[in-house]
Chains A and B, each alone.
Chain A
Amino acid sequence: MNIKKTSCIYLLIAFLIALSCSDSSDSNENVVDNFDRQTILENVTDNIILPAFDDFNPKIAQLKESITQFSISTTLANLETVQELWVDAYKSWQHLEMFNIAKAEELYFLQKMNTYPTSVSRIENNINTNNYNLDSNNNNWSAQGFPALDYLLFGLADTNSETLIFYQNDENLAYLNYLQAVASQMLQVTDMVHQDWILIRDVFVTSSENSATSSLNMLTNDFIYYFEKGLRTNKFGIPAGVFSGNNTRAANVEAYYNSTISKTLALEAIEAVEGFFIGQTYNSTSTGESLKSYLDYMTDNTTLSSTVLMKFSDSKLLINTLDDNFVNQIVLNNELMIDVFNKLQEGVVLLKTDMLSVLSISVDYIDADGD
């Protein structure tokens, strides 16, 4: 099919040239791509990815440690410590989810850390049977990571004191064990992905050519995929019912059981997206080479990159008007959730169509339209 089509086009081209059409040069092609793409990889790796892992990995270690403490001593203070560390780590995670590349991709880091909605039924089943493999059974992706902890820390009862009573009950010892198993798994995978980044850093940053498997092309694709799927679809589209015939799916809100933080997580995510685009050092305001500077170089102006940044800031403005708790927002006025989705979609078009065309990078994934 494709071959046929292509040869038809070639025939047509040959035919038209034979007709001696005059040619005119396309202004875009006048810009020769002399941009040093490796500088983007160096900046992103050294100033975003590695520092983000340096921040995240200890947070997960602390979270795991706090869960161990809680299982030794089921006090309210210990429960609250676990909950706070969970929130803190979940916020940091928003800065890493987009880097679904190398070891992270191989180990299904993203799927293991943040598949939501979590499957309560599967978690309960795992706990009851005490026969489960969190590491190598895909079916358990929805029974681990931040969303599973969300359920185990906030979803078992309405209040913390009731949750505490639940865990203090000897009959529920299996829940404490599962809590620890989930935390161990999270730390184990995080350690592996983090260590691998340190190991592959030099090789990664030198793979800057323009090919389907080069670091920059994959990173750029992962970034756009995250923007489209992780941010637009998962955080807004699906819960707002965009992919379910306008039937809202509040249970699909990220951090559903502690949904007062859903807006915080979404804002972290869009900060992360913006930071990556402009090459901003993690937890700092300084910037370096990035997709933005590359884009500005190729277009010889800042028109397109400013339009992209405008979409980011417009999206943030819209998100800021939402209730802190997206579950409430969906019930109160879902239209505002859809407004954010639509604004983010405008960003998707700019990044996926306009930016990739200027940078001559091919899309390596199929539309994530939820179907």
Chain B
Amino acid sequence: MKIYYNSIKLLVASMLIATNFSCSSDDDQVITTPNEVIAPDTYVFERQGESTVSYGGQTARLDMAASLFGKLNDENVDGASLLQMFEDGTGFTAEDGASQDQIDAINALNSSGKKLGNKTAAYGDASVQPKIAGFLTEYAENVSTNFNVDAGVGVSGSHTGSGGRTVRINEKGMELNQVFAKSLIGALVMDQVAYGYLSEVKIGDDVDNDASALGAGEYTTMEHHFDEGLGYVYGQESDITTASTPQGNGILFNKYLKKVNESEEPGLATEIYDAFKLGRAAIVASNSEVRDEQAEIVKTKMSRVILHKAAHYLRGAAEAKAAADVDYADYFHGLSEGYGFILSLQFTYDADGMNYFSHSEVETMLSTLESGNGFWDRTPSELDDMAAQIEAKL
């Protein structure tokens, strides 16, 4: 195996050399731009020795999502409490046996003034936010109340698969904690980055970027907007300087960026991190062209994570359903993740600045998944077809 790889390398190398020789070199004239942009090694930006990078609000929201997610596997939860956490950003409670640090962190969330609800699908179709909030109430009212009921076709409850996984599902086989979390990857993270903080309105030329009067550690409005976008992707990293290789912390985008970077598309994480870095440097250098180029890279590359995972979970569910002895817990779990990633597709951003799948296309896919008895009824070929439709965009 090694031998072949080396041979390929040699082959490629010799082709490159050949190309070099055959090309006349007319491209070595230095093009000077008014504001040259040099990206720093890591995402560190300072003014008079103090960091100007801040995204605490984003970290708080990502933490809220994780905390809320944790409640969606409990028995007899109260729907109003879940909605309070989601819409008001208060009422979060620590898990049993949490450390003092964790309890402090939860208290800090409750008093952060941040909330998920008003940032969910903020730039999307108006029906999406209520739909996502609805997953919370549905869990509370229809699933957590049936905790000890054996789930079946048309019956919500618990199901333990042969592999040992236990899922709490609604009557269509949907595991709502997965559906909720994966939906937020698009509706919160992707939407806020692509159509919010890294869009014309937030970082366009009309946004204040005058640093002339700023003191140590102070930032311009544009700089801050850009950092807030970054925060949705890296807000739970313990160290932003190493985030080029994501830690996969939390339950949202970063977790799947890490996975895709380790399997489907190695190098993607570095491309996204580098684009954030260069884009931010461009803002400091007041270079609109580089800034906008890099913002486009961030948005299109981030979208690939959602495309990859939507297809991946559909394929996995198709395979699980095709097995001789179906492990329904694994199947429901995977397809629920797929459902959320599909919902997220409407918040993606392609090279033309459009979503890869429109709201109505997404709705069609979701209602296909839910039709009849929902996940119980889906066939491997239906799921494979849907996966192929998504893979075609990659």
Q: Do residues A26 and B2 form an inter-chain contact, with CB atoms below 8 A?
A: yes
**CA distance in complex: A21, B10 (Å):** 11
**CA distance in complex: A16, B2 (Å):** 13
Tell me whether A87 is interfacial, beta carbon within 8 Å: no
In the complex formed, the residue of B with least CB distance to A141 is B160
Tell me whether B99 is interfacial, beta carbon within 8 Å: yes
| Interface SS majority for chain A | helix
Q: Do residues B4 and A122 form an inter-chain contact, with CB atoms below 8 A?
A: no
CB contact under 8 A between A247 and B66, given known A137-B150, A139-B150: yes
The interface-forming segment of A34-42, A47-55, A70-78, A325-333 is A325-333
What is the number of residues of chain B that contact chain A, defined by CB distance less than 8 Å? 32
Closest beta carbon of chain A to B112's beta carbon, Å = 17
Within 8 A of B (CB), among A7-37: 12-13, 16, 19, 21, 23-24, 26
B-facing mask of A331-350, CB < 8 A → 1, else 0? Answer: 11010000000000000000
Closest beta carbon of chain B to A203's beta carbon, Å = 24
Within 8 A of B (CB), among A129-155: 137-139, 141-142
A-facing mask of B94-114, CB < 8 A → 1, else 0? Answer: 011111101000000000000
- B66, B69, B97, B236: the one contacting A250 at CB < 8 Å is B97
Q: Do residues A21 and B7 form an inter-chain contact, with CB atoms below 8 A?
A: yes
**CA distance in complex: A24, B4 (Å):** 11
Tell me whether B244 is interfacial, beta carbon within 8 Å: no
Q: Do residues A334 and B160 form an inter-chain contact, with CB atoms below 8 A?
A: no
Tell me whether B90 is interfacial, beta carbon within 8 Å: no
Q: Do residues B95 and A121 form an inter-chain contact, with CB atoms below 8 A?
A: no
Closest beta carbon of chain B to A48's beta carbon, Å = 24
**CA distance in complex: A246, B98 (Å):** 11
CB contact under 8 A between A12 and B148, given known A111-B164, A244-B70, A245-B251: no
Q: Which residues from chain A contact B4 at a C-beta distance below 8 Å?
A: 12-13, 16
Closest beta carbon of chain B to A324's beta carbon, Å = 16
Tell me whether A115 is interfacial, beta carbon within 8 Å: yes
Tell me whether B129 is interfacial, beta carbon within 8 Å: no
Closest beta carbon of chain A to B70's beta carbon, Å = 6
Tell me whether A204 is interfacial, beta carbon within 8 Å: no
Q: Do residues A249 and B95 form an inter-chain contact, with CB atoms below 8 A?
A: yes
Q: Do residues A16 and B7 form an inter-chain contact, with CB atoms below 8 A?
A: yes
Tell me whether A297 is interfacial, beta carbon within 8 Å: no
Q: Do residues B160 and A330 form an inter-chain contact, with CB atoms below 8 A?
A: no
Q: Do residues A330 and B97 form an inter-chain contact, with CB atoms below 8 A?
A: yes
**CA distance in complex: A247, B97 (Å):** 11
Q: Do residues B161 and A138 form an inter-chain contact, with CB atoms below 8 A?
A: yes
**CA distance in complex: A19, B99 (Å):** 64
Q: Which residues from chain A contact B158 at a C-beta distance below 8 Å?
A: 122, 139
Tell me whether A166 is interfacial, beta carbon within 8 Å: no
Q: Do residues B97 and A245 form an inter-chain contact, with CB atoms below 8 A?
A: no
A-facing mask of B1-31, CB < 8 A → 1, else 0? Answer: 0111001100000000000000000000000
Q: Do residues A138 and B66 form an inter-chain contact, with CB atoms below 8 A?
A: no
Closest beta carbon of chain B to A306's beta carbon, Å = 25
Within 8 A of A (CB), among B150-166: 150, 158-162, 164, 166
Within 8 A of A (CB), among B120-176: 147-148, 150, 158-162, 164, 166
**CA distance in complex: A19, B8 (Å):** 11
**CA distance in complex: A137, B95 (Å):** 29
Tell me whether A248 is interfacial, beta carbon within 8 Å: yes
Q: Which residues from chain A contact B150 at a C-beta distance below 8 Å?
A: 137, 139
Tell me whether B75 is interfacial, beta carbon within 8 Å: yes
Q: Do residues B70 and A248 form an inter-chain contact, with CB atoms below 8 A?
A: no
Tell me whether B338 is interfacial, beta carbon within 8 Å: no
CB contact under 8 A between A331 and B70, given known A13-B4, A21-B3, A142-B166: no
Tell me whether B246 is interfacial, beta carbon within 8 Å: no
Tell me whether A197 is interfacial, beta carbon within 8 Å: no
Q: Do residues B249 and A246 form an inter-chain contact, with CB atoms below 8 A?
A: yes
Q: Which residues from chain A contact B70 at a C-beta distance below 8 Å?
A: 244, 247
Within 8 A of B (CB), among A145-188: none
**CA distance in complex: A92, B75 (Å):** 33
In the complex formed, the residue of B with least CB distance to A246 is B249
Tell me whether A283 is interfacial, beta carbon within 8 Å: no
B-facing mask of A292-328, CB < 8 A → 1, else 0? Answer: 0000000000000000000000000000000000010
Q: Which residues from chain B contact A247 at a C-beta distance below 8 Å?
A: 66-67, 70, 95, 98, 102
Q: Do residues A248 and B95 form an inter-chain contact, with CB atoms below 8 A?
A: yes
- A16, A19, A248: the one contacting B98 at CB < 8 Å is A248
Q: Do residues B96 and A23 form an inter-chain contact, with CB atoms below 8 A?
A: no
Q: Do residues B96 and A251 form an inter-chain contact, with CB atoms below 8 A?
A: yes
Q: Which residues from chain A contact B97 at a C-beta distance below 8 Å?
A: 248, 250-251, 327, 330-331
Q: Which residues from chain A contact B250 at a C-beta distance below 8 Å?
A: 245-246
Closest beta carbon of chain A to B148's beta carbon, Å = 4
**CA distance in complex: A244, B161 (Å):** 20
Q: Do residues A142 and B160 form an inter-chain contact, with CB atoms below 8 A?
A: yes
**CA distance in complex: A250, B249 (Å):** 19
In the complex formed, the residue of A with least CB distance to B160 is A138
Using a CB–CB cutoff of 8 Å, the interface residues on chain A facing chain B are 12-13, 16, 19, 21, 23-24, 26, 108, 111, 115, 121-122, 125, 137-139, 141-142, 244-251, 327, 330-332, 334
> What are 29 A-to-B residue pairs whose CB atoms are below 8 Å?
A13-B4, A16-B4, A16-B8, A23-B3, A108-B162, A115-B164, A121-B147, A122-B147, A125-B148, A137-B150, A138-B160, A141-B160, A141-B164, A244-B66, A245-B236, A245-B249, A245-B255, A246-B249, A246-B250, A247-B70, A248-B97, A248-B99, A248-B102, A250-B96, A250-B98, A251-B96, A251-B97, A332-B99, A334-B99
Using a CB–CB cutoff of 8 Å, the interface residues on chain B facing chain A are 2-4, 7-8, 66-67, 69-70, 75, 95-100, 102, 147-148, 150, 158-162, 164, 166, 236, 249-251, 255
Supply 15 further A-B pairs (C-beta < 8 A) apart from A138-B161, A330-B99: A24-B3, A121-B148, A122-B147, A138-B162, A139-B150, A141-B164, A142-B166, A244-B251, A245-B236, A246-B236, A247-B70, A247-B95, A250-B95, A250-B96, A331-B99
A-B complex: 4 closest residue pairs judged by Cβ atoms: A250-B97, A125-B148, A138-B160, A245-B66
